[in-house]
Amino acid sequence: MLDLNFVRDNLPLVEEKLRQRGMDPAEVLGNFSAIDQERRRDITTLETAKRRRNELSPKIGVLKQAEKRGTLSGDQQKELENLAKAVAAEKSTIEQFELRVREDDEKLLQVLKTIPNLPNESVPIGTSAEQNVEVRRWGAPPKFDFAPKPHWELGEQLGVLDLERAAKISGARFAVYWDLGAKLERALANFMLDLHTKEQGYTEVLPPYMVNSESMYGTGQLPKFASDLFRVPHGERDLWLIPTAEVPVTNLYRDEIIDGARLPISLTAYTPCFRSEAGSYGKDVRGIIRQHQFQKVELVKFSRPEESYEQLEKLTRDAENVLQKLGLHYRVVTLCTGDMGFSSAKTYDIEVWLPGQQLFREISSCSNFEAFQARRANIRFRPEGKSKTEFVHTLNGSALAVGRTWVALVENHQQPDGSVHIPEALQPYMGADRITPKKF
RNA sequence: GGAGAGGUGCGUGAGCGGUUGAAACGAUCCGCCUCGAAAGCGGACAUACCUUAACGGGUAUCGGGGGUUCGAAUCCCUCCCUCUCCGCCA
């Protein structure tokens, strides 16, 4: 969420940034200015009435007490009656305008909540993924003197990926991993967590996989994207399955004031992610690229505003490091204004090369949300030596989506005999140097 | 699931119908003292919103929401959370 005062004072800028995102400012902002002005008028009326009431109340108190003691004169009796009448009048104004202000607040908040974050100046302007800008490439595509297979064929032949039985027990877009396939998932997760915690300075956390609605609002999944989520009925207050560890981990500090000396805070978490993706049926139906449940190692940072872009670069490099150690060819692209997520001010996607499909595929998305999430989730910090609090900047990125890393590893390291070579860095975690075909 | 206790500012913790935005202590910040520091002394110290050119003024906030009252941190209802005991359970 953007700051109300900022939007009011910088309307032309906000409109321009909305256009850059390919949105119609008039449609998003609606009658923002009219609502804002009406709200402020109503607040002033309401508060004036309250002020009068507060001035009159103590006078009534004094007279009432005199009445109790029976020392009330005739004049005072009259005054008391007049005061009571005056307060009653203010009270009806208060009741009326409390209602109106509440409605105004709701209307205004509704507009404010639908305004996406403003893209940073360094973000390329564009309307779709076509205009994303490649910033660097690492490695080279592996050379094969045979036709490399896609992971769903390899997985089946190796006996490590079972989509048929997954469909039987759960449905489409779920997977069962067997034997070394299951172990590969676990090995990748452990490898990534060890890298982040031992070499890159992150602290590991294990959060709940279900969260309440407030948390989903805090990071921006609600109210706009409810249809992408799995909802769990639970008494009066339903819970939600997390679509990413970003949700519980960023909300760790919701409604808190962080000691400035502790920043930046760098956390990593390995969790399953649940996505309903109601709108995406028909896309990526083959294999395990798009699933209702997948596992991901996430990086989350809480940063001072002035160093958040530096932290974004670091975070992105930390994610890239995983691919480098696994010997997987990839490129990094800066998402253009039209392709960026709702809450992000700048996003780098890391795309890994998939030889079985001859294309680059998103495996990580690293974003700086600036104060957008922090304002909504009320995450502040106190700079050293100052009493005034400020909103932190929040960042996160996958490092990496484990399921897609599994895919990339299997496709890139496949051998002519149908086996898959395990990169050296991963061998200690696998206890094997290759996966060979086996029936399940 | 049953019984009880409680949720107050950055923290500990008083207040239990009117002068309490909230005592006291601690933390933090600014002065004084000091070669410097500690200790000591003095002072400052919530947030959001409305209003104002500004100084300032106002409103709200004592877990969330609702109610009683001229007036609520204080009384009532409800929800959430924490703690203690019992039961159940991985």
Chain position carrying tokens 């206890």:
A431
Whether A20 shows a pLDDT value over 90: the answer reads yes
3-state helix, strand, coil in chain A (%, to 5): 45, 20, 35
Note the pLDDT tens digit of each residue in A131-178.
Answer: 999 999 999 999 999 999 999 999 999 999 999 999 999 888 999 999
Tokens of A69: 């003691």
Give the CA dihedral A221, A224, A229, A234, nearest 10 degrees. 90
What local confidence, expressed as pLDDT, does residue A38 receive? 93
Q: Which nucleotides of B are covered by protein (CB under 7 A)?
A: 10, 18, 28-30, 45-51, 58-60, 70-71, 79-80
What is the distance between the alpha carbons of residues A290 and A262, in angstroms, rounded to a whole number? 37
Q: List, for residues A216-258, the tens digit of each pLDDT value.
A: 888 888 777 778 899 888 777 788 999 999 999 999 888 888 8
Which of A275, A375, A376, A380 does the annotation list as catalytic?
A275
Catalytic residue among A39, A376, A380, A404: A404
Amino acid A226: pLDDT? 79
Let me know if A308 is a catalytic residue. Answer: no
Rounded to whole angstroms, the distance from the CA of residue A58 to the C1' of nucleotide B20 is 15
For residue A201 the two structure tokens come to 């300075």
pLDDT of residue A155: 93
Mean pLDDT, residues A399-409 taken together:
95
Contact A345, A372 (CB under 8 A): yes
Residue A68 has pLDDT above 80, yes or no: no
pLDDT of residue A280: 57
The region that residue A284 occupies, defined by phi over 0 for left and psi between -120 and 50 for alpha, beta otherwise, is left
CA distance A82 to A327: 86
Confidence grade of residue A80 (pLDDT, cut at 50, 70, 90): confident
Q: What's the topology of domain A4-114?
A: Helix Hairpins (1.10.287)
CATH class in words for A129-435: alpha beta
- The predicted structure's pLDDT at residue A282: 64
Instruction: Provide CB contacts within 8 A for A408, sequence distance 6+.
Output: A323, A326, A328, A352, A353, A354, A361, A363
Q: Which residues touch strand B (CB under 7 A)?
A: A 3-5, 40, 43-44, 46-48, 50-51, 53-58, 60-61, 64-65, 84, 87, 91, 235-237, 257, 384-385, 387-389
The nucleotide closest to A57 (CA, C1' atoms): B70
The mean pLDDT value for A58-67 works out to 78
pLDDT at A386 over 70: no
Task: Specify whether A362 is catalytic.
Answer: yes
> How confident is the model over A84-132, as pLDDT tens digits?
888 888 888 888 888 888 888 888 988 888 899 999 999 999 999 999 9
Task: Provide the pLDDT for residue A221.
Answer: 83
> What residue spans define the domains of chain A?
4-114, 129-435
